[in-house]
Chain A
Amino acid sequence: MRYAETGYTLEVDLTRGNVERVETDPKETELLLGGQGIAAKILFDRIPQGMDPLSPENLLIFSTGLLHGTPVPACNRTVVNTISPQTGLMAHSLMGGFFGPELKHAGYDRIVITGKAPDLVYLWIHNDKVEIRDATHLRGKGARETAKLIEEELNNQYIQVAAIGLAGENRVFTASIEHGFSSAARGPGPVMGDKRLKAIAIRGTKDVYVAKPEELFKMCIDLRKKMAESKDVGDWMASDEDDSFHHNHFAWGNARTRQKTYWSAELQQRWTDWKYDHMDRQAGCYNCPKQCINVISWPGYERFGYKCYGKDTYHMAAFKELDYSYEILGTALEYGVDSYSTPQAAAFAVELYEAGILTDEDLPDFPSDSGERIRYLLEKIVRREGIGDYLADGVYRAARRIGKGAEKYDHNTTKKFEQLPIKLGKLNPPYFLMIATGEKMAITQIEGSFPQDPLPTMKEREEFVEKWRVVIPDEKFAKYFLEWEKRHDISDEASCNITDWNEAMHYLDDSIGFCGFCSSFRGQFGGGVVYHINNMPEIVSLATGMDFDKDKLWKTFQRIRNLVRAVNVKRGMRRKDERPPEDHWAVRDEESEQRLLDIYYGFKGWTRDGIPTKETLDSLDLGFVSEDFLKSGILTGDETIASPEAPAEKDEEQKSGGR
Chain B
Amino acid sequence: MDRGKNRLIVSFLALPVGLYTLFVLIPYFSALIFAFTRWSGLSQNIRFNGANNFIKLYRDEKFWSALSHNGIALLILPPVIIGLALFFAFLFTQGKGVAFSRFFRVAFFFPQVMSVVVVAVLWSFIYHPTIGLLNALLGAVGLTQFASFPWLGDRGTVFGSVLAMVVWQSVGFYMVLFVAGMQSIPVDYYEAAKIDGADSWTMFWNVTVPLLWDTIRTAIIFLAIAAMDLFAQVTVMTNGTGGPSRAADVVPTYLYSTAFSDGQFGYATAMGLVLLILVLALSIISLRFTAREALEY
A and B: interacting chains: no
